[in-house]
Amino acid sequence: MTVWDDLQGQAPVVAQLRQASQGEGLTHAWLFTGPPGSGRSNAAKAFAAALNCEQDDVTLRGCGECHTCHTILGETHSDVTFVRTEKLTITIAEARELVAKAGDRPSTARWRIIVVEDADRMPERTTNVLLKAIEEPTPRTIWMLCAPSPADVLVTIRSRCRPVTLRLPPAADVAALLVRRDGVDPELAERAARAAQSHIGIARRLAQDAGARERRLETVRAPLQLRGVTAAIMMAEKLVKIATDEADSSNVERDAAEKAALLASLGAPDTGTLPPAMRSQLKQLEDDQKRRAKRSITDSLDRTLTDLLSFYRDVLVIQLGNAVDLVNVELRGELEEYAARTTPETTLARMDAVNTARVRITTSNVAPLLAVESMATSLIQK
């Protein structure tokens, strides 16, 4: 087993990173781009492990067996920092901390590595804080930035990074990974990989969570009952509720555990009023949790609308002659009936409506329910 084994369907990327880890074309800043689920952060993590692997033979680096590989893959190595945000943006204060850390020499490894998994969530003023550190890096420091596309990163940063472009792996490769790594039944793994449209993280969740599979199927079937304005409003409420429930299911227990851990670390009394200093720290935690909850709902709703989009994608595939496989194979009969009642032009217009709602929800302050209601009314069957 090596650090590259989980990068399914990314042979050109693995070859590029293997060469760099052996000293061919190594540079101080890298930009990993690819669609959600393509494995950007996993590729950066594997590269970090290979660069610091303990093997003396450079051709064997990235062994996945040594202590350094294990600790980097487990995100516990002191010289490799992983940055991800569960808020809407990475703040200037957080960027300044990274710059300060990047100035330190590695303590035990060859390289000090900073992996920023959400580089697309840095506003311009935050990115400018990193610019000088990336332009003039300290010796033995490597930056790895991850974003959906090069356009999501400020051009002054992008021009100073070596690009690594990932693609969504074939569904068969994702299914094979689920079987090998997570012990998922092959038939279930194939269905999950197809339903997730090769998004590795989503495929794993679908394979392991029957409730998630049911919620997704409910979303995909929603257009079949869409016959009037009342139905559209009800559909919008249902989609937002599905997304909110999905986000809440992962946040409630976590929020409670974080609060309990903070109070325990502060030595808070079991009963009575908290001292002012403790109340301020508790409020800061609650504010961070609210920001995280907002992003969780936004991300979950975007994923829900992506599932909805797969319905219209399959309808269009049928209307254009079934040139490629369907995502929702189990609904083929219903999809064919729906496709016969409309035209490819109408289907494309409905896909545009779904994508417009996604953009509004993820890039503006519009109320999610209003955006989804507007979308749903444009999807009504004539």
Q: Write out the DSSP string of 106-159.
A: PSSSS-EEEEETTGGG--HHHHHHHHHHHHSPPTTEEEEEEESSGGGS-HHHHT
Q: Are 53 and 187 a contacting pair, CB within 8 Å? A: no
Nearest in space to 164 (alpha carbons), one of 2, 6, 70, 25: 25
Q: What is the pLDDT of residue 382?
A: 67
For 65, which DSSP code? -
Domain boundary among 148, 165, 182: 165
CA atoms 208, 7, 308, 186: torsion sign: negative
Q: Number of folded domains in the chain?
A: 3
Give long-range contacts, CB 8 A cutoff, 24+ apart: 19-26: 20/47, 20/51, 21/47, 21/50, 21/51, 21/53, 21/58, 21/61, 21/62, 22/58, 22/59, 22/61, 23/58, 25/162, 26/51
Q: What is the pTM of this model?
A: 0.74
Domain CATH for 47: 3.40.50.300
- Residue 366's alpha-carbon distances to 241, 288, 363, in angstroms, are 17, 21, 9
Q: What is the pLDDT of residue 82?
A: 92
Would residue 5 count as lying in a domain?
no
Judgement on whether residues 121 and 107 belong to the same structural domain of the protein: yes
Judgement on whether residues 142 and 62 belong to the same structural domain of the protein: yes
Judgement on whether residues 20 and 141 belong to the same structural domain of the protein: yes
Would residue 216 count as lying in a domain?
no
Judgement on whether residues 130 and 177 belong to the same structural domain of the protein: no
Q: Are 81 and 111 a contacting pair, CB within 8 Å? A: no
Judgement on whether residues 60 and 177 belong to the same structural domain of the protein: no
Domain of residue 203: give its range: 171-208
Judgement on whether residues 19 and 153 belong to the same structural domain of the protein: yes
pLDDT (tens digit per residue) in 194-218: 999 888 888 988 999 888 899 899 9
Judgement on whether residues 294 and 256 belong to the same structural domain of the protein: yes
What is the b/e burial string over 263-287, where b = at least 16 CB atoms within 10 angstroms of the residue's CB? beeeebeeeeeeeeebeebbeebee
Residues 6+ away with beta carbon under 8 Å from 284 = none
Domain boundary among 114, 136, 165: 165
Helix (H) or strand (E) holding 350: helix 344-363
Judgement on whether residues 34 and 117 belong to the same structural domain of the protein: yes
Q: What is d(CA 120, CA 89) in angstroms, rounded to the nearest whole number?
A: 9
Judgement on whether residues 130 and 46 belong to the same structural domain of the protein: yes
Judgement on whether residues 175 and 40 belong to the same structural domain of the protein: no
Q: What is d(CA 320, CA 272) in angstroms, rounded to the nearest whole number?
A: 68
Helix (H) or strand (E) holding 252: helix 229-266
Torsion from C-alpha of 225, 235, 188, 42, nearest 10 degrees: 150
For 223, which DSSP code? G
Got the DSSP string for 68-120?
HHHHHHTT--TTEEEE--SSSS--HHHHHHHHHHHTSPPSSSS-EEEEETTGG
Would residue 136 count as lying in a domain?
yes
pLDDT (tens digit per residue) in 61-96: 999 999 999 999 999 999 999 988 766 678 888 888
Q: Are 194 and 327 a contacting pair, CB within 8 Å? A: yes
Judgement on whether residues 176 and 200 belong to the same structural domain of the protein: yes
* Per-residue pLDDT of the chain in tens (382 residues, 90 and over written 9): 789 988 878 889 999 999 999 988 889 999 999 988 888 999 999 999 999 999 999 889 999 999 999 999 999 999 999 988 766 678 888 888 888 888 888 999 999 999 998 888 888 888 888 888 888 878 899 999 999 999 888 888 889 999 999 988 888 988 998 998 889 999 999 999 999 988 888 898 899 988 889 989 999 999 998 888 999 999 899 888 888 877 766 666 677 777 777 777 777 776 777 777 777 777 777 777 677 677 778 888 888 999 999 999 999 999 999 888 899 999 999 999 999 999 999 999 999 999 999 988 887 778 889 999 999 999 987 6
Would residue 1 count as lying in a domain?
no
Give long-range contacts, CB 8 A cutoff, 24+ apart: 247-253: 247/293, 247/296, 247/297, 247/299, 247/300, 248/293, 250/296, 251/289, 251/292, 251/293, 251/296
Would residue 220 count as lying in a domain?
no
Judgement on whether residues 129 and 264 belong to the same structural domain of the protein: no
